Amino acid sequence: MAETAAGQPYEYRRRELVEPDWTRFPGWRDVTAAQWQSAQWQRVNCVKNVKQLRAVLGDLVDDTFYADLEADQQRLATMSMLIPPQMLNTMVPDAAPDTASFTADPIRNYMLPIASDRRRDWPSHPHSARDSLHEHDMWVAEGLTHRYPTKVLAELLSTCPQYCGHCTRMDLVGNSTPAVAKLKLVQKPADRYEAHLTYLKAHPGVRDVVVSGGDVANVPWRQLEAYLMGLLSVPTVRDIRLATKALMGLPQHWLQDDVVEGMHRVAVTAERRGVNLAVHTHVNHVNSLTPMVARAVRTLLEVGVRDVRNQGVLMRGVNATADDLLDLCFALQGEAGILPYYFYMCDMIPNAEHWRVPVWHAQQLQHDLMGYLPGYATPRIVCDVPFVGKRWVHMIADYDREHGISYWTKNYRTSLEAGDSEALTKLYAYYDPIDTLPESGQAWWRKQQAA
């Protein structure tokens, strides 16, 4: 990090949140505040294709950008396009964008990837995979992943109000793209949810349920409330975490009367039963935080949700500098009421190499973040190692920097390793992006690939 005038690598200055003026976009010149605050208006006016993006941006951005975006959608994208106006409005927030500023914008970078963003030499790592964390392999009921001994991940549905280019669940989430035919959930939601509850009742050692998707903001409220009340009726469930990026991407959803009233009922029930109810969101850049997001967070806390936490993803071109992460964390903690909890290294999915950072870079960032934020609000940077799970980035057992292979150990068995006597003693590999390796390492991978 370069030093500031105060002689420190990073200098904190309070910056209050600002809602960017949406009327700077030609397509939204006449949109009123009442429309903007309506969740329904936001959903109806999501941008789903290049034509709709043009209708909003008009000639601010030139044809080369739109062609680049179309090329990505047609050949490389693992996620289809879906951006609520709230999120689009946080791109180039201070001015009407032009092609250069829009292309360089960090939120554009991961929400509207263009073909020229991706690496030509190594678009995907040879060890990348559609379901890189093997969550589907560990389903114990449809959509219920049992990976850690005491915790499960419940995927209630496969849609979100917004689709992120780097989505780790690109195998299941969203519409199929020309590059990826998606896996489909086949059971009726009611049957799927019932099967989850049956599993939890039969496995009292599972105490923690991450309720996710997709994004729970797309589950019709009555269904979601019934599911949560079902979880709260299982006495062995002690932690419930709701995963919703929409808290940032579509905060209007979480401010609707029926949702607020329903969350209040769920929070009161959780409190009475001594269950920790929290909401986890996914913010990657400080520009995503606006007064509307802070209001939605405050409302959740007011109705009794115990905590709202952030799980961001570390990505080149978006936030992979200490300054970016500290700016984001101070705004989360100091302005939006969200605890900076984790930053994940971007998973090894196809066509994501331009976003991924090597482990040594993540370690350096963790080092550079220490000491600025309150200790409890200092995020951990974690690597989700295939077949292992989340590890802090300094927990490597060994590291071959030349070939970009880090080795990790684990201290529990997943459902896939019941009969594997070496599961707890062997080493598990994770791979750095090849373009970040020394030339000798890159040559080695080219040779492997050719063979």
**How far apart are CB 246 and ligand SF4 at their closest, in Å?**
7
Please, which residue, 73 or 442, has the CB nearer to ligand SF4? Answer: 73
CA-CA-CA-CA torsion sign (163, 161, 44, 83):
negative
Please, which residue, 280 or 403, has the CB nearer to ligand SF4? Answer: 280
Please, which residue, 217 or 305, has the CB nearer to ligand SF4? Answer: 217
The strand pairing partners of 390, in sequence order, are: 384
47 binds ligand SF4 (CB under 6 A): no
434 binds ligand SF4 (CB under 6 A): no
Give the angle subtended at the CA of 23 by the CAs of 244 and 259, to the nearest 5°. 30
Classify burial at 120, counting beta carbons within 10 Å of its beta carbon; exposed 0-12, middle 13-18, buried 19 or more.
exposed
Q: How large is the angle between the packed helices 221-232 and 189-202, nearest 10 degrees? A: 10
Q: How far is it, in rounded angstroms, from Cα 301 to Cα 279?
A: 9
Q: How far is it, in rounded angstroms, from Cα 381 to Cα 365?
A: 8
**How far apart are CB 245 and ligand SF4 at their closest, in Å?**
4
**How far apart are CB 105 and ligand SF4 at their closest, in Å?**
17
With contacts defined by CB under 6 A, name the span among 84-92, 161-169, 193-201, 419-427 that binds ligand SF4: 161-169
Interacting residues with ligand SF4 between 272 and 291 (CB under 6 A) = 282
Give the one residue of 133, 173, 185, 349 binding ligand SF4; rule: CB under 6 A: 173
The closest of 377, 312, 321 to 346, measured between CA atoms, is 312
Cβ atoms within 10 Å, residue 206:
22
Give the one residue of 20, 27, 85, 214 binding ligand SF4; rule: CB under 6 A: 214
163 binds ligand SF4 (CB under 6 A): yes
164 binds ligand SF4 (CB under 6 A): yes
CB 263 within 8 A of CB 303: yes
**How far apart are CB 134 and ligand SF4 at their closest, in Å?**
17
Give the angle subtended at the CA of 93 by the CAs of 26 and 38, to the nearest 5°. 65
**How far apart are CB 162 and ligand SF4 at their closest, in Å?**
6
292 binds ligand SF4 (CB under 6 A): no
Please, which residue, 214 or 404, has the CB nearer to ligand SF4? Answer: 214
Q: How far is it, in rounded angstroms, from Cα 317 to Cα 303?
A: 37
Distant-in-sequence, close-in-space partners of 133: CB < 8 Å, separation ≥ 6? 147, 168, 347, 384, 386
Over its C-alpha atoms, the chain yields an Rg (Å, rounded) of 22
With contacts defined by CB under 6 A, name the span among 123-131, 155-163, 192-200, 396-404 that binds ligand SF4: 155-163
215 binds ligand SF4 (CB under 6 A): yes
259 binds ligand SF4 (CB under 6 A): no
169 binds ligand SF4 (CB under 6 A): yes
**How far apart are CB 282 and ligand SF4 at their closest, in Å?**
6
Give the one residue of 160, 224, 247, 362 binding ligand SF4; rule: CB under 6 A: 160
Give the angle subtended at the CA of 149 by the CAs of 147 and 150, to the nearest 5°. 110
The closest of 380, 394, 378 to 332, measured between CA atoms, is 378
Instruction: Report the DSSP pairing between strands 380-385 and 398-400.
Output: unpaired
251 binds ligand SF4 (CB under 6 A): no
192 binds ligand SF4 (CB under 6 A): no
Using CB under 6 A as the criterion, what x/- string covers residues 111-130 for binding ligand SF4?
--------------------
**How far apart are CB 292 and ligand SF4 at their closest, in Å?**
18
The closest of 277, 144, 267 to 213, measured between CA atoms, is 144
The count of residues interacting with ligand SF4 (CB under 6 A) is: 12
Please, which residue, 141 or 167, has the CB nearer to ligand SF4? Answer: 167
Cβ atoms within 10 Å, residue 99:
16
**How far apart are CB 79 and ligand SF4 at their closest, in Å?**
6
Please, which residue, 166 or 403, has the CB nearer to ligand SF4? Answer: 166
167 binds ligand SF4 (CB under 6 A): yes
CB 243 within 8 A of CB 164: no
- Which residues make up the interface to ligand SF4 (CB under 6 A)? 160, 162-164, 167, 169, 173, 213-215, 245, 282
